[in-house]
Structure 1
Amino acid sequence: MVQLSFGQIVINELDCDTPGTDDAEFLELKSDAPNFPLDGYVVVFFNGSTNPDTGENRSYMALDLDGYSTDVNGLLLIGSNTVSPIPQYIIPSNTIQNGADAVAVYQANDYDFPDLTTAYVDGALIDVLIYETNDSDGTGLVPIFSAFNPSIQMINEGAGGNANSIQRNNDGSYTVGTPTPRQLNDGSGIVLNGLLTTIAQTQYNEGDSFDITFTTEQNVTSDLSFSISLNNGSFNTSDYTGTTSLTIPTGQNSVTTTISLTDDSDDEGDEVLKISVLSLPTEYLKLNDKLEIRVVDNDYVVAAWGTPLNPTYGVVSSTQPAGYYDSLDGFSGAALKQAIQDIIANPAVVRAQTYADIIDILKEADQNPANSNQVWLLYTEQGRAKLDYQGSSSSSTGKWNREHVYCRSRGGFYSIKDDDIPDGKDIYWTTTADSLRHGNSDAHALRAADGPENSSRNNQNYGASEYDGPLGNSGSFKGDVARSIFYMVTRYNGIDVVNGYPVDTTPGFIGDLATLLEWHRNDPPDDYEMNRNNIVYTWQHNRNPFIDEPDLVEYLWGTHAGELWSQSLSVNDHDLVHVQVFPNPAKNGFYIKGIKAETRVELYSIDGRKIEGFKTNHDTFVDDNLSSGLYLLKLTSRGLSSLKKIIVE
């Protein structure tokens, strides 16, 4: 058996099965040093059953210990809130399986052990206990962990529903006996009185007041005085009022303080306060600590432009430098694409940022126009608090993360050295058209997305046969996606967009081109997308040309493919050619975008009956509560006419 050494963490006690509802099981860890920080450790539970769907020596739960420490006796108790005394680390009741199973401590992170990870031994393994409750299976765990301890054996807690626990002796052997949670197994040590912090909810608005209650497990025998801090990051004493020096009087077991959140006029963004108990005497134990409460800032800013669900046009102007696209005139086909690449991949100008920088870029570029404290989520078409970014080890539910529109496995680009360092705008890599690795962190093709929806999209191609967005989406993201793909295959060598749905076994291709062309046409660039283009430009010093000059798409892949591009002609030759009508098919009306001069708009049914007619000299929205069917839209300007078909669903 591995002996205890300085800084060593061992499994001190395990109660895997309890009488009745089996809701009082627990795990207790022990360090030889008191108050030992457990950052960098993880507890992993392995199922030793022979069921290939759930067991066969694979993990079913991993608990990251970052932020926790052992107490003055060197103990950390892990269990549900039905365990008495209350554990420091709370898990759901009836979670620890009865056996034959194993529990191990590694120097690692919980995300190193996703569910169904096969048990293994390496240099990161600190301690392991294989246990059972009169079970016949689970023997496969012994040979695996014998590489860690050749004499390792399975310890039997007793029959099912037993009142025992497995306890480690000081010599490293094990005893089965009456459970002693949060106490040293030999009866020595300090008997601690636990202090529990409770709050009613975890989110309040500026201007709200709330109570924090502190309760000891037993009445105090003398006045217990302690202090608390709420400071965390930008949240400090200017953001609240209330008593933070507290006393539980002799003979009592609780005290409550009321905190009032300051309602100022500053747009600080949502913040998180952290309740930390300070200066607690050694005979007391913090049962929980550093509870977080979100403080929602009601001073958020609403932009002058709309969200992709309620788009506006012409409010945000492109910040492209004068003459940015002049070098494209007179080119067509592959030469035109090369001329665009020469601009947006120019190594003397263009910068590549790290993948970690993308988080900060998205908080700015994907900011929700309706609430500056949120980002706008691509596929699910909703705002979400910037604070709800998914960390590397947290659940994705209710969180947002970074979505590669051109998915990494199809592009063949992944994180590289230093990609995990957020070093800001002024530290960057030089990049070229051949620097495909930088596609991993190109903000023109990375978007804020709902975590689970990002996983649902995975690495599918775009289109009805693979990924068309979540059920019931309005399609407000589709043009944005198309233009991001068109940007990527122009900016970088080695990737392309093709018709159909290519398999992902050979990186370099994504589809479906025909779908993306329709998405581009039916969802043209709006103010949200233009603002995004402007912000990314401040970081990368390049732009997505298909937002600034959307007609370029047609000259490379669409109706004008092979024709010579001329920036001046594209604007002035025949204004009506470039007018866009979207969405098409339409459900609740449609937009007419690209009108540059006074235009007569006439809407006809398919049988020639005129439904509406009016004049306009700017983009407009048509909503006539039309019934399902096919309609004709006639546009007349400067003596020229254009006829477009509209489908109403």
Structure 2
Amino acid sequence: MKLFLSLLLFLVSLCSMAQDLIINELDADTPSTDTAEFIELKSTVPNFTTDGFILVFFNGSSNGGDSSYLVIDLNGYVTDNNGLLVLGGSEVVPYPQVLLADNIIQNGADAVGIYQASIDDFPEGTLANQNNLIDALVYGTNDAVDTELLALLGETVQYNDNGTTTTPRSIQRFVDAMGNESYVADTPTPRGENDGSGIPINPIAISVSQSQYNEGDVFDIVFTAEVNLSSDLNFTIGLSNGGFDTADFTGNLNLTILSGANSTSTAINLINDTADEGDEVLRIQFLDLVEPIVPANNNIEIRVVDDDFTMAQWGTPVNPTTGLVASTQPNGYYNSLDGLADIELRQALQNIIADPSMVRAQTYADVIDILLEADENPMNSNQVWLVYSEEGRPKLDLQTGSNSTGKWNREHTFPRSRGGFDSIEEDDIADGIDIFWTTEADSLRHGNSDAHALRAADAAENSSRGNQHYGEYVGPTGTLGSFRGDVARSVLYMEIRYNGLEVVNGFPDTVGQLGDLATLLDWHRNDPPDDFEMNRNNIVYQWQRNRNPFIDQPLLVEYIWGDNVGEVWNQPLSINVNTLSELIVYPNPAKDHVFISGLSNTTKFEIWTVDGTLVQRYTSIAQPLQLNLAPGLYIMKVEEGHQSVTRKLVVK
């Protein structure tokens, strides 16, 4: 008899452990607001530690194969006075105890399960199973029933949250007086009992009139409780975030809502210092609220705009300058090209820019750090310059979630889907300039993170371009097209850098090919390299140890794809032809114009910087020749037929 009772008590104990934690509510699809999705767990007793439990989400789609796509370790968390623990997005109200990335909970048909296990037991892609399963919920948003997923988790019903309606719904657990359990789709009740019982909470909301202020501004933060307080409430807030700290503001952070009242406020003065710190973000956060007082919202971010930005000496692509930024190419970098033509010229060029003993490949995450410097707006060091929309955008507005409005991201000028390259898991780690992959001409996958062909772009415009060929895509309406030569040179670089890529005429569907070559050659010729492009070439070179040769030596494009195909290449500054020795350029030094004597049937006239950058080209010359050059030393090259001559030109 004693043995029987002991066995019975042991079985009851196991049942009790199995019911310690259950799925109480799930909102997997909040219409138009994926930032307000959440899952609520409930313990049988309040203030229950969830150590030893994990939460596993399963993808029931055909691609997901009823396997795990997200695992959350519940170690370190505790349920509240009502036994509830909410894990959710940033706009869940009241604010969740555990913040999840926005839009991370998939709609369905999917499932979520609580396991008494380790996260190591569920690597990504683990098939749903019942090993150590405590509770599970299979759900959908008006999806077909996933019978396989139900069977794998030992469930019989797939619950629907009616997620296609405009009114938010969540799947909620109810238990009737007889102990019968059921799930119903109803108005979400995060951090509250689904039947309205339990200890009432009193959420406090943070409100600010603007989401952005300038250094030197004063603004109020207002705190409002849902119901009046029955006693004085003392609480503390914090504003620090990253580089923004107590040296950047003054104001009271220790606050009180008096008994009988429901609000208080504090004034924050943003210090206008002289340091160029860049734009920063302060984060308003509660530090010490105690139940039943809870945050209604939290971690409210406010942009602080720094007016101490710097401006470069060179212009933006819409107001370009030339000759102010010198190429940092090593001496003799392109010497191996001289005297070559056709296939030999192509191969020699690839040998330089894909040299495995020199060239480095960085991760796709590293590209963000590269672009923050390489695509910096010359007119405002706190911004990046957007390639298609031709405008500056705060560096802080990098897209990190599903919201693309007003954000920027990384644009592949040679689209990934057309190039046949993509990210791998290691690409998600920004490990810095000194950690890199060895790469060569056959390393096509590294095209995914080649910064010579990646540009900062408006996120919405990037999506609009999609994987269109250039010529199909010509940029936003109303822009100047200042990006066209830049993107032309970047995709032509990709053809030479990586085996398997080709720029062709037309709009092909073959992976590895991008069009339209004729359009891109026209863009290259009509939008020559400028200082902005040379500066980014120099910066990318620091990271990748290779250069875009069509920025350094723009005329190379003609010898590989254009008018000079088949001709022998020699670097412009190495030409030593004296048959036009009578040609005279005056005045020299010049200011804004020059005259040229001794011309007869000139077919081509070019001006180069002393480091080999083409800055102006003319096919016909009207005297005097108008110059638009920064002060400095230049090389003038004149071609008549097969003869050419160079002259030094000083611009004062």
TM-score class, shorter-chain normalisation, is: 0.7 to 0.9
Q: CA deviation at 1:440?
A: 0.9
| 1:146-185 to 2 correspondences below 5 Å | 147-152=152-157, 167-169=173-175, 173-174=181-182, 181=189, 182-184=191-193
Q: Which residue of 2 aligns with 1:313?
A: 322
Q: CA deviation at 1:352?
A: 0.8
> CA, structure 1 residues 65+288, in 2 after alignment: closer, same or farther (shift >3 Å)?
farther
Q: Which residue of 1 aligns with 2:95?
A: 88
Deviations 1:354-403 (CA, angstroms, capped at 9, x unpaired):
11100100111011111111111111111111111112x33222211111
Alpha-carbon distance in 2 for matches of 1:317, 1:164: 61
Aligned with 1:470 (options 473, 476, 500):
476
Q: CA deviation at 1:34?
A: 4.2
Letter in 1 for 2:616: G
SS in 2 for 1:196: strand
Alpha-carbon distance in 2 for matches of 1:403, 1:15: 30
> CA, structure 1 residues 247+447, in 2 after alignment: closer, same or farther (shift >3 Å)?
same
1:397 and 2:405 correspond:
yes
Letter in 1 for 2:254: S
The answer (yes or no) to whether the contact 2:604–2:638 under 8 Å persists in 1 is: no
Greater mean alpha carbon deviation, residues 72-81 or residues 559-568: 72-81
1:420 and 2:423 correspond:
no
> CA, structure 1 residues 122+175, in 2 after alignment: closer, same or farther (shift >3 Å)?
closer
Q: Which residue of 1 aligns with 2:604?
A: 577
Aligned with 1:537 (options 538, 541, 544):
541
1:566 and 2:570 correspond:
yes
How many residue pairs match? The answer is 548
> CA, structure 1 residues 326+189, in 2 after alignment: closer, same or farther (shift >3 Å)?
same
Alpha-carbon distance in 2 for matches of 1:405, 1:381: 15
1:554 and 2:558 correspond:
yes
> CA, structure 1 residues 79+543, in 2 after alignment: closer, same or farther (shift >3 Å)?
closer
Alpha-carbon distance in 1 for matches of 2:319, 2:83: 58
The answer (yes or no) to whether the contact 1:121–1:148 under 8 Å persists in 2 is: no
The answer (yes or no) to whether the contact 1:31–1:74 under 8 Å persists in 2 is: yes
Alpha-carbon distance in 2 for matches of 1:480, 1:218: 59
1:508 and 2:521 correspond:
no
The answer (yes or no) to whether the contact 2:444–2:498 under 8 Å persists in 1 is: yes
1:286 and 2:257 correspond:
no
Q: CA deviation at 1:221?
A: 2.1
Q: Which residue of 2 aligns with 1:460?
A: 468
Deviations 1:292-337 (CA, angstroms, capped at 9, x unpaired):
1111111111111111111111111111111111111100111111
Deviations 1:422-451 (CA, angstroms, capped at 9, x unpaired):
011111111111111111111001111111
Q: Which residue of 1 aligns with 2:40?
A: 29
Alpha-carbon distance in 1 for matches of 2:250, 2:482: 44
The answer (yes or no) to whether the contact 1:80–1:87 under 8 Å persists in 2 is: no
The answer (yes or no) to whether the contact 1:433–1:493 under 8 Å persists in 2 is: yes
Alpha-carbon distance in 1 for matches of 2:302, 2:640: 62
Aligned with 2:417 (options 387, 394, 409):
409
The answer (yes or no) to whether the contact 1:81–1:87 under 8 Å persists in 2 is: no
Alpha-carbon distance in 2 for matches of 1:401, 1:565: 38
SS in 1 for 2:489: helix
Alpha-carbon distance in 1 for matches of 2:29, 2:437: 53
Deviations 1:188-237 (CA, angstroms, capped at 9, x unpaired):
64332221111111111111111111122222222211111101111111
The answer (yes or no) to whether the contact 2:485–2:528 under 8 Å persists in 1 is: yes
> CA, structure 1 residues 570+461, in 2 after alignment: closer, same or farther (shift >3 Å)?
farther
Letter in 2 for 1:152: V
Q: Which residue of 1 aligns with 2:23?
A: 10
Deviations 1:122-169 (CA, angstroms, capped at 9, x unpaired):
46997437699xxxx977467864553433276999xx99x9995422
| 1:250-269 to 2 correspondences below 5 Å | 250-269=259-278
> CA, structure 1 residues 156+438, in 2 after alignment: closer, same or farther (shift >3 Å)?
closer
Alpha-carbon distance in 2 for matches of 1:218, 1:15: 29
SS in 2 for 1:372: strand
The answer (yes or no) to whether the contact 1:36–1:71 under 8 Å persists in 2 is: no
SS in 1 for 2:427: coil
The answer (yes or no) to whether the contact 1:121–1:145 under 8 Å persists in 2 is: no
> CA, structure 1 residues 348+183, in 2 after alignment: closer, same or farther (shift >3 Å)?
closer
Q: Which residue of 1 aligns with 2:341?
A: 332
| 1:64-83 to 2 correspondences below 5 Å | 71-75=80-84
Letter in 2 for 1:614: P
SS in 2 for 1:579: strand
Alpha-carbon distance in 2 for matches of 1:140, 1:371: 54
Q: CA deviation at 1:46?
A: 11
> CA, structure 1 residues 346+580, in 2 after alignment: closer, same or farther (shift >3 Å)?
same
Deviations 1:513-541 (CA, angstroms, capped at 9, x unpaired):
11111010011001110000011011111
> CA, structure 1 residues 352+154, in 2 after alignment: closer, same or farther (shift >3 Å)?
closer
Unaligned runs of 5+ in 2: 1-14, 31-35, 62-69, 98-107, 115-125, 581-601, 609-613, 631-635, 643-652
Alpha-carbon distance in 1 for matches of 2:385, 2:188: 51
The answer (yes or no) to whether the contact 1:7–1:36 under 8 Å persists in 2 is: no
> CA, structure 1 residues 459+444, in 2 after alignment: closer, same or farther (shift >3 Å)?
same
SS in 2 for 1:594: strand
| 1:580-591 to 2 correspondences below 5 Å | none
Q: CA deviation at 1:284?
A: 1.1
Q: Which residue of 2 aligns with 1:483?
A: 489
The answer (yes or no) to whether the contact 2:606–2:637 under 8 Å persists in 1 is: no
> CA, structure 1 residues 594+502, in 2 after alignment: closer, same or farther (shift >3 Å)?
same
SS in 1 for 2:624: strand
Q: Which residue of 2 aligns with 1:594?
A: 616
The answer (yes or no) to whether the contact 1:168–1:185 under 8 Å persists in 2 is: yes
Q: Which residue of 2 aligns with 1:527?
A: 531
1:449 and 2:471 correspond:
no
Alpha-carbon distance in 1 for matches of 2:455, 2:526: 20
Q: Which residue of 1 aligns with 2:223?
A: 214
Give the % identical residues: 50
> CA, structure 1 residues 43+252, in 2 after alignment: closer, same or farther (shift >3 Å)?
farther
| 1:222-261 to 2 correspondences below 5 Å | 222-261=231-270
Alpha-carbon distance in 2 for matches of 1:389, 1:105: 31
> CA, structure 1 residues 365+576, in 2 after alignment: closer, same or farther (shift >3 Å)?
farther
Q: Which residue of 1 aligns with 2:5?
A: none
Alpha-carbon distance in 1 for matches of 2:54, 2:276: 36
> CA, structure 1 residues 191+415, in 2 after alignment: closer, same or farther (shift >3 Å)?
same
Per the normalisation by structure 1, the TM-score is 0.73
Deviations 1:625-649 (CA, angstroms, capped at 9, x unpaired):
xxxxxxxxxxx9989799xxxxxxx
Q: Which residue of 2 aligns with 1:304?
A: 313
Q: Which residue of 2 aligns with 1:647?
A: none
Letter in 1 for 2:273: D
Q: Which residue of 1 aligns with 2:381?
A: 372
CA-based RMSD of the aligned residues comes to 4.7
Alpha-carbon distance in 2 for matches of 1:374, 1:16: 35
Q: CA deviation at 1:468?
A: 1.6
Alpha-carbon distance in 2 for matches of 1:180, 1:568: 71
Q: Which residue of 1 aligns with 2:204?
A: 195
Letter in 1 for 2:350: Q
